[in-house]
Amino acid sequence: MVVQFTSQQEKAIEQAFNSIDTDHSGSIDRDELGTAVQKLLDRKVTDAEVDEMLAKADSDRSGSISLDEFKAMMADHLSRSTNWGKLRTALGGYVGFDQLQQQQNRKAMKRGFQFNLMVVGESGLGKSTLVNTLFRSKIARSTLAGAEDAKIPKTVEIHSVSHVIEEKNVRLRLTVSDTPGFGDHINNDGSWQPILDHINKLNEKYFADESAVVRNIAPVDSRIHACIYFIAPTGHSLKPIDIEFMKKLDKSVNIIPVIAKADTLTLEERAAFKERIVEDLDQHAINVYPNVNEDDDEEDKAINSKLSELLPFAVIGSDKEVIVNGQGVLGRKTKWGFIEVENKDHCEFSNLRDMLIRTHMQDLIDVTHFTHYEKFRAAKLRGGAPAPAAAPAQAAAPKAVVKVGGNSVADSSI
């Protein structure tokens, strides 16, 4: 719907345009366009936004736009945003729509939330322990599985287990998928393929659900929102299997690389190892999460930029508490001393946990839907979406009752 401006809003737009058009030519160029928009919206406008606005408004491709084109461009831009800056309409008194967020929160709390996590890496890197440490529960499948599941499969398999956990009246349906067999064979060529097929299969299911003639109002979202990729602490550089996996899947899922069992490296070795990994990621143009997006606001850019500097997270997992100075802390004792999982001087577990759960969980879900899934959906509608090679193996997930922070937790298989 195209925005219809009031006379006051139209006057403000004309004043912003004329204040920039100092030579009274009746047109403004790209740089002047950005300045005019910033005056109206009362915020910094990114280069990407300015380029998009100019491309839509500059009908004759002259590199400048007229006042009428500027008005039409602003109407189009504001129809897709609520950040109107100085063009907002002032209220004469209290109305009450400030309660909308609370209304949404109440509905969301009743419905609960869904988050789907995948862990990938060679066996023996502490994947299950890290997942259990992240959620302070016996969450990982291998923690609940029988002895027969401990055998390394001949091919890469996908196994998932789901739990419903509750914390301060917030219910989260958490599905954790692991990939036994990945990187555990002499020839690991193509070991990424079953995982990509699985991700595509889940996208396919969601696409079918939302494209059905009679749709479920709230379809179950089983798409993978985050993939923690475990890098062996060799201290050298990424292995070919690491590079191949991340190159093949970085356009399909949010990959969060971590250095597993970081306590096996000295601080100097860890820093040098991280530098070489970052060099490998840059050299092979591998995208990992989080990315600093030009469309993000300045606050989000600053947060994501700081997190990106920590990648890959050097992590240690331990689901056992040890008494230190009279307090129970997660970690483990060694002959050199005590390693605290949540101590930032010892490792970056808390940085990973905070990003994954406390600050960026919703963003991971949004990026999955609006970026990765949208690419899949667009390709599917064009007839070019990759079809899963075969249905991934699915183990029967064990059922359990666990606790998170003293709250009862029910578990169900996916």
**Mean pLDDT over residues 345-369, rounded?**
96
Q: Which of 87, 122, 148 is the last residue of a domain?
A: 87
Integer Cα distance of 414 and 397 in angstroms? 7
Is 121 or 297 the better-scoring residue by pLDDT?
121
Q: Does one domain contain both 40 and 188?
A: no
Q: How confident is the model at residue 176 (pLDDT cuts 50, 70, 90)?
A: very high
Asked whether residue 106 is domain-assigned, the answer is no
Unique residue bearing structure tokens 């949540």 = 342
Q: How many CA atoms lie within 13 A of 133 on its CB side?
A: 25
- Specify the range with the lowest mean pLDDT, choosing from 154-163, 316-325, 382-391: 382-391
What was the pLDDT predicted at 80? 87
Is 395 or 136 the better-scoring residue by pLDDT?
136
The domain that contains 143 carries what CATH number? 3.40.50.300
pLDDT for residue 396 is more than 70: no
Sheet strands (E) in 145-237: 159-167, 170-178, 226-231
Q: Where are the alpha helices (DSSP H) in 222-324?
A: 240-249, 267-283, 298-310
Q: 123, 132, 233: which is closest to 183 by C-alpha?
A: 123
Query: Could you tell me the strand order of the sheet in which 321-324 lies?
Result: 321-324, 327-334, 337-340
Q: Does one domain contain both 81 and 138?
A: no
Q: How confident is the model at residue 285 (pLDDT cuts 50, 70, 90)?
A: very high
Q: Does one domain contain both 279 and 241?
A: yes
pLDDT digits (tens, 9 = 90+) for 105-123: 898 888 899 999 999 999 9
Q: Does one domain contain both 124 and 82?
A: no
What was the pLDDT predicted at 141? 73
User: In the chain, what percentage of residues exceed pLDDT 90?
Assistant: 66
DSSP state of 397: P
Q: Which of 53, 87, 121 is the last residue of a domain?
A: 87
Q: How confident is the model at residue 150 (pLDDT cuts 50, 70, 90)?
A: low
Q: Does one domain contain both 197 and 73?
A: no
**Mean pLDDT over residues 57-79, rounded?**
93
What was the pLDDT predicted at 143? 59
Q: How confident is the model at residue 394 (pLDDT cuts 50, 70, 90)?
A: very low
Contact status, residue 149 vs residue 134, Cβ threshold 8 Å: no
Asked whether residue 93 is domain-assigned, the answer is no
Q: Does one domain contain both 345 and 394?
A: yes
Helix (H) or strand (E) holding 321: strand 321-324
- Total domain count, the chain: 2
Contact status, residue 347 vs residue 130, Cβ threshold 8 Å: no
Q: Does one domain contain both 33 and 182?
A: no
Q: Does one domain contain both 83 and 115?
A: no
DSSP state of 316: -
Contact status, residue 228 vs residue 122, Cβ threshold 8 Å: no
CA distances from 182 to 179, 191, 226, 230, 287 (A): 6, 6, 17, 11, 21
Integer Cα distance of 2 and 45 in angstroms? 21
- Specify the range with the lowest mean pLDDT, choosing from 62-76, 125-139, 179-193, 365-379: 179-193
pLDDT for residue 228 is more than 50: yes
Asked whether residue 387 is domain-assigned, the answer is yes
User: In the chain, what percentage of residues exceed pLDDT 70?
Assistant: 88
Q: What share of the chain is helix, strand, coil (3-state, %, to 5)?
A: 45, 15, 40
Q: Does one domain contain both 118 and 16?
A: no
Q: How far apart are the first and last CA of the chain?
A: 41
The domain that contains 83 carries what CATH number? 1.10.238.10
Q: How confident is the model at residue 386 (pLDDT cuts 50, 70, 90)?
A: low
pTM of the entire predicted model: 0.81
pLDDT digits (tens, 9 = 90+) for 198-227: 999 999 999 999 888 888 877 889 999 999
Q: How confident is the model at residue 395 (pLDDT cuts 50, 70, 90)?
A: very low
Contact status, residue 165 vs residue 174, Cβ threshold 8 Å: yes
**Mean pLDDT over residues 229-233, rounded?**
97
Q: Concatenate the DSSP letters of all residues of 299-314 into one string.
A: HHHHHHHHHHHHPSEE
Asked whether residue 162 is domain-assigned, the answer is yes
Burial (CB count within 10 angstroms: exposed 0-12, middle 13-18, buried 19+), residue 357: middle
Q: Which of 55, 87, 119 is the last residue of a domain?
A: 87
What was the pLDDT predicted at 387? 47
Q: Does one domain contain both 240 and 372?
A: yes
What was the pLDDT predicted at 213? 87
Asked whether residue 96 is domain-assigned, the answer is no
**Mean pLDDT over residues 233-246, rounded?**
95
The dihedral of CA 269, 272, 278, 280: what is its sign? negative
Q: Does one domain contain both 45 and 194?
A: no
Q: How confident is the model at residue 294 (pLDDT cuts 50, 70, 90)?
A: low
CA 30 vs. chain centroid, Å, equals: 33
pLDDT digits (tens, 9 = 90+) for 84-113: 999 999 999 999 999 999 998 898 888 899
Asked whether residue 104 is domain-assigned, the answer is no
Bond into 180 cis (ω within 30): no
Q: Concatenate the DSSP letters of all residues of 93-115 into one string.
A: S--SGGGHHHHHHHHHHHH-EEE
Structural domain boundaries enclosing 71:
7-87
**Mean pLDDT over residues 322-347, rounded?**
84
Would you state the structure tokens that stand for residue 135, as one six-digit string? Answer: 């959620």
Sheet strands (E) in 12-98: 27-29, 64-66
Asked whether residue 98 is domain-assigned, the answer is no
Is 33 or 332 the better-scoring residue by pLDDT?
33
CA distances from 58 to 29, 39, 45, 171 (A): 10, 20, 18, 49
Q: What is the overall mean pLDDT for the chain?
A: 87
Helix (H) or strand (E) holding 258: strand 255-259
Q: Where are the alpha helices (DSSP H) in 284-359?
A: 298-310, 349-353
Q: Does one domain contain both 200 and 275?
A: yes
